Amino acid sequence: MREKIALVTGAAGGIGAAVVRTLAERGASVAAVDKDDDRLDEVAAKLAAEGLRVRAFPADVTTSAGAERMVADVEDVLGPLDQLVNGAGVLRLGKATGLTDADWAATFAVNANGVFFVSRAVINRMVPRRSGAVVTIASNAAGTARTDMAAYAASKAAATMFTKCLGLEVAQYGIRCNVVAPGSTETPMLTSMWQDDRGRSATLEGSPAAYRVGIPLGKLASPSDVADAVAFLLSDQASHITMHGLTVDGGATLGV
C-alpha cells in the first residue's frame, strides 16, 4: 500500500471508516468520501492527527456529475488514483411488496448507482495508466434471500455483478475488480435492525422462522475484519485475483 493513492466512499463510519484507517496505516494516501460532512471531517481529522495521510472530500455519489467532480478533485489534490473502494451503502427494511417507491429509489441510488458513477469516473482515468484495483463492498445478502431486505439485497446483487463485469472488461488494462461480501458486522447499520436487547443473540443464533441460520463462528464481524479483506484484494498479494467475491460472514451463508 505504501505510496498508493486510494479513494474510499462511505468513509464517515462503520466499515468505510475502518477501511480508510487500514489503508492509511499500511502507507496509502486516502481520499475519504462521504455525504455526511461533519462525521467525515471528524474521521479524517482524527486519523490525520495520528499522522496518517487522510483527507476528506465531501460528496454525494448518487449523481453522475457529483461523482465525476469529486474524482477530478481527488486527483487534482492527491494525484492519480491507484485504488478505489466502493463502500457507501444504505439500508431500507420492509416486505418486498410493502417497500415504497422512495425506499427502492434511495437504496439503488447509493448501493448500485453510486458504485456505477464512481467506478466509471475512476476507471476511465485508470485505463490510460493501465493499472489499478477496485473493491466493491457488497453483502452476503446479494446471493442469499433475506426477509425484509429485498431492496438492499437486490441493490447489492446489482453492484456485485456490475463490478465483476467491469473487471472482465478492464482486465486487459491490468485493472483488477473484486467484491467483498460482509455478513453481520458490528456497525450502526446492523444495530439499527435490532428491535430489543436480544438483537445480538438473535443474530448469532439465527431465526428458523425467517429461514435464516446463525453465525457458525459464534461472533459478529468487526469493521476491521472486513477492512483487512478489502486491503488484501487491493494489495499486490492479490495481483492474480480479479472478478472474485470474498465472503466475510463467519460462515453465515454456509460457504454457498
The SS3 call for residue 134 is: strand
User: At residue 164, what is the residue type?
Assistant: K
Neighbouring residues of 170: CB distance < 8 A, sequence distance ≥ 6 = 123, 126, 127, 177
For 54, phi then psi, to 5°, come to -130, 135
Region of 47 on the Ramachandran plot (φ > 0 left; ψ -120 to 50 alpha; else beta): alpha
Q: Which residue in 185, 188, 187, 198 sits closest to 252, CA to CA?
A: 185
Whole-angstrom Cα distance, residue 3 to residue 53? 10
Place of cell 468487526: 222
Query: Is there a contact between 177 and 160 (Cβ–Cβ < 8 Å)?
Result: no
Burial class (CB in 10 A: 0-12, 13-18, 19+), 208: exposed
CB-side neighbour CA atoms (13 Å) of 2: 0
211 has catalytic annotation? no
State the catalytic residue, choosing from 85, 152, 158, 215: 152
Q: Where in the sequence numbering do the catalytic residues fall?
A: 152
